Amino acid sequence: MNRPTARTIPRAAIAGLGLSLSLLSPAQDASLAERYRAWLDEEVVYIITPREREVFGKLGSDRERDIFIEAFWRQRDPTPETPVNESRTEHGRRIREADRLFGRSSPRPGWTTDRGRMLIILGAPDDIGRFEGRTEIVPVEVWFYRDRSDLGLPPGFHLVFFQEQGLGDFRLYSPARDGPQALLAGVFGAPDAYRAAYERLREVDPNLAAVSLSLIPGESETGSGRPSVASDSLIQKVEGAPQAKVRDEYARRFLAYKDIIDVEYSANYLESDAVVFVAVDGAGVPVVHYAVEPRRLSVGKEADGYGTTLRVNGILTDPDGAVIHQFEKTFAVRIETERLADLGRRPFLLRDLFPLLPGAYKMSILVRNEVSKEFCSFERALDIPAAGGGLRILRPALGYKSVRTGRQARALRPFQVGPFQVAVQPGRTFSRGDALVAAFQVDGLTAGARAGGLLRFQILREGELVAGSERRLDACAELPDVVEEIPLAGLAPARYDLRIALVVDGREAASLTEGFDLTHGEYVPRPWVQSKLLPGPGDPAFERILGAQLFNAGRARQARSDWAGALAAFEQAMSRSGVNAAVLNAVGECYLQMGRSEDALAAWERSLALDPGQPEIRKKADAIK
């Protein structure tokens, strides 16, 4: 591990670096071991994001902190497939170099000085100009950097350091805060005396005078000698560059899943994208379709090729946090040797689906790769409307092609709408050679609306109509299912909105808008896909899923003392998935709370007939006989 020797730096010194003490929680101050305090306040103080610091402060054990530190560096590893983390090695080298170069001439460690801080953040400058031993100016160093575009910085820029009044450490120069007069020896003029100071400085050295007004080469002078405000913005951008470069969502995921996933996975969060679509099946049951696209798919060598096992865990909770549905599935991914190169050229997409009762939910999906020990996850808020909600268009799936597979009664396919299965990809990015496929359902149609209504499709760019078409409802043979293909060939690359409107009797009765992007590229790499099928309505497996959801919904209503609502849910559960002792016991409890003792006794006696070994239920039954 490359880090400086642990030292205790006064909190006042940390505050002097411009870092917020509010980010250090009381728990951190009181209980952190010295090695973790040194890691936070010394080793990574310039590169850790506020979210990462906050999450680190919430960890409850040294083991969790050690794993988080590994995750922290893994996120910054430019070559995670190799055993060496070049970013971590380079960061440690920069800290040691800052101590060596700047610690000798300072009463404090070199890494805490302004020059040390910039060296750690940016690395060594491409050029250094030193202005020393002159009576007219204080000692000054001008650092020049080029090609730091990976940090979102200009192609070339300067940083200036000076000894204030010729004494002490070199301090980072701010054109707006310090002004040219700060670089002149023995000058104590008014803070706004920019022009006179600039003219004197130009007599001493024109190049130094130029950077005293602007740190950005080629930036035009204002004419009044006033320093550049853009230069101070540049300094702020430099100081924030390490944080801006890192996508720290992994830290939140680490905190959320550290108690759920195995330790070997927790440091290996993998970014991903996802899409979720809800459609109602032919039996009137809502079905949730989802697809996950991890940033990469790692596989291991097998006897006849390559492969891995993806383990998927899903959980859906109601607004009170009660679990209504949860599942675990495995996807065995197998790749022939000759197709292995596709992993580097095409993304991988995992698709799945499940039925879900109407209601509002938080949906969380966790995917673990058993070969690489990586995990990805996503969350969505779902609002599944109940039937009979009036005329409406359900939220569409936007895809890049559709295939007619026919209606399947025995098994449902992911992203199937009527007889069509739609190929979707998170991100909604298309090329001009693609057709945009909009797949959706129209709910609540009356006979009159079917006969005289129409669907209007409009493509908008910044609110302006650029393309459109209409389709009569009586020409939609698969209603309530609609799959519309819209050519994109005539559009320029840009961000667009697809607006779909249902027009009845000349008025828009319902509408919605979804965004998509049209890229400059000739094509968009499309994924190779791994899917699960879902047994259709009426199949025991399908009915068991709904029955379990109804049972959990009943339990949630019991917790809210909604006994009548709970009883209704339990009765529906029995009609879906059959009778068992657990649901009968819950039914008996509802009856008892509703004052219907005889019905409670009947339910419990029926439960005992199925499973006599229930002493607590027998005691309840005996109490009301």
* Residue 359 included in any domain: yes
Task: Over range 390-397, report the average pLDDT.
Answer: 93
* Residue 513 included in any domain: yes
Task: Over range 325-347, report the average pLDDT.
Answer: 90
- What pLDDT sits at residue 23? 37
Instruction: Give the C-alpha separation, 366 to 568, whole Å.
Output: 32
* Residue 51 included in any domain: no
pLDDT tens profile 49-60: 999 999 999 999
Same-domain check for residues 401 and 520: yes
Q: Are 176 and 184 in contact (CB under 8 A)?
A: no
Please provide the size of the chain in residues. 625
The phi, psi pair for 573, rounded to 5°, reads -60, -45
CATH code of 591's domain: 1.25.40.10
Same-domain check for residues 508 and 563: no
Mean pLDDT over all residues of the chain?
A: 90
* Domain limits for position 164: 125-245
- What pLDDT sits at residue 408? 67
Q: Are 162 and 170 in contact (CB under 8 A)?
A: yes
pLDDT tens profile 368-387: 999 999 999 999 999 998 87
pLDDT at position 135 over 80? yes
Same-domain check for residues 549 and 530: no
pLDDT at position 14 over 60? no
Determine the distance from the C-alpha atom of residue 93 to the mean position of all C-alpha atoms in its chain, rounded to a whole number.
Answer: 32
pLDDT at position 592 over 90? yes
Q: Are 210 and 225 in contact (CB under 8 A)?
A: no
Q: Quick one: angle between helices 563-577 and 540-559, nearest 10?
A: 170
CA distances from 379 to 275, 349, 361, 362, 399 (A): 10, 17, 10, 7, 21
- What pLDDT sits at residue 188? 58
Bridge partners of 498, per DSSP, are 459, 514
- What pLDDT sits at residue 106? 85
Contacts from 379-384 at CB under 8 Å and sequence distance 24+? 380/274, 380/276, 382/276, 382/278, 382/288, 382/316, 382/356, 384/278, 384/286, 384/288, 384/356, 384/357, 384/358, 384/359, 384/360
Q: Are 194 and 179 in contact (CB under 8 A)?
A: yes
pLDDT at position 404 over 80? yes
Q: 10 Å Cβ neighbour count for 121?
A: 18
Instruction: Give the C-alpha separation, 407 to 127, whole Å.
Output: 69
Q: Are 351 and 291 in contact (CB under 8 A)?
A: yes
Same-domain check for residues 531 and 545: no
Same-domain check for residues 365 and 502: yes
Instruction: Give the C-alpha separation, 24 to 57, whole Å.
Output: 7
- What pLDDT sits at residue 150? 82
* Residue 60 included in any domain: no
Task: Over range 481-509, report the average pLDDT.
Answer: 96
Same-domain check for residues 180 and 208: yes
- What pLDDT sits at residue 192? 56
* Residue 545 included in any domain: yes
pLDDT at position 35 over 90? yes
CA angle 377–380–385, rounded 5-degree value: 145
Same-domain check for residues 502 and 599: no
Task: Over range 595-620, report the average pLDDT.
Answer: 96
Task: Over range 118-126, report the average pLDDT.
Answer: 96
pLDDT tens profile 179-224: 999 999 876 555 557 788 888 999 999 999 999 999 999 775 544 5
Buried b (16+ CB within 10 A) or exposed e, 441-462: bbbbbeeebbeebbbebbbbee
Same-domain check for residues 506 and 546: no
Instruction: Give the C-alpha separation, 455 to 599, whole Å.
Output: 52
Task: Over range 393-409, report the average pLDDT.
Answer: 89
* Residue 357 included in any domain: yes
Same-domain check for residues 240 and 277: no
Classified as helix, coil or strand, 81 is: coil
pLDDT at position 16 over 60? no
pLDDT tier at 554 (50, 70, 90 boundaries)? Answer: very high
pLDDT tier at 473 (50, 70, 90 boundaries)? Answer: very high
Cα Rg of the chain, angstroms: 33
Task: Over range 597-625, report the average pLDDT.
Answer: 95
Instruction: Give the C-alpha separation, 547 to 555, whole Å.
Output: 12
pLDDT at position 9 over 60? no
* Residue 132 included in any domain: yes
The string of DSSP letters for 301-333 reads EETTEEEEEEEEEEEEE-TT--EEEEEEEEEEE
Q: Of 500, 535, 570, which marks where a domain is finished?
A: 535
Q: Of 535, 561, 587, which marks where a domain is finished?
A: 535
CATH code of 352's domain: 2.60.40.1930
CA distances from 247 to 243, 297, 475 (A): 8, 19, 48
pLDDT at position 468 over 80? yes
pLDDT at position 272 over 80? yes
Same-domain check for residues 501 and 579: no
3-state secondary structure 263-302: HHHHCCECCEEEEEEEEECCCCCEEEEEEEEECCCCCEEE
Instruction: Give the C-alpha separation, 299 to 544, whole Å.
Output: 34
* Tokens read off for 170: 């070199």
* Residue 24 included in any domain: no
Q: Are 608 and 617 in contact (CB under 8 A)?
A: yes
Of the candidate ranges 10-14, 161-165, 370-374, 442-446, the one whose mean pLDDT is the lowest? 10-14
Which regions of 336-488 does DSSP assign to beta strands (E)?
348-355, 359-369, 374-384, 392-393, 397-404, 411-412, 416-417, 420-424, 429-430, 435-443, 454-461, 464-472, 481-487
Question: Could you tell me how many helices (H) and strands (E) the chain has, helices first?
Answer: 19, 26
Number of domains comprising the chain? 3
* Tokens read off for 111: 């890494």
Classified as helix, coil or strand, 194 is: helix
Instruction: Give the C-alpha separation, 86 to 88, whole Å.
Output: 6
CA distances from 311 to 266, 331, 350, 370, 541 (A): 15, 6, 11, 7, 20
Same-domain check for residues 416 and 518: yes
Which regions of 155-216 does DSSP assign to beta strands (E)?
156-163, 170-172
3-state secondary structure 144-157: EEECCHHHCCCCEE
- Closest residue by Cα to residue 44 from 251, 236, 215, 234: 251
Bridge partners of 528, per DSSP, are 348
C-alpha atoms less than 13 angstroms from C-alpha of 251 in its C-beta half-sphere: 21
pLDDT tens profile 74-86: 999 998 878 899 9
CA distances from 403 to 394, 421, 437, 489 (A): 21, 5, 11, 20
Q: Are 110 and 103 in contact (CB under 8 A)?
A: yes
Same-domain check for residues 576 and 521: no
Report the share of the chain in percent with pLDDT over 90.
75
Q: Of 508, 535, 562, which marks where a domain is finished?
A: 535
Q: Quick one: angle between helices 62-75 and 249-257, nearest 10?
A: 150
Helix or strand run (H / E) with residue 84? none
Task: Over range 410-434, report the average pLDDT.
Answer: 94
Classified as helix, coil or strand, 472 is: strand
- What pLDDT sits at residue 606? 97
Instruction: Give the C-alpha separation, 413 to 405, whole Å.
Output: 9
Q: 10 Å Cβ neighbour count for 399?
A: 26
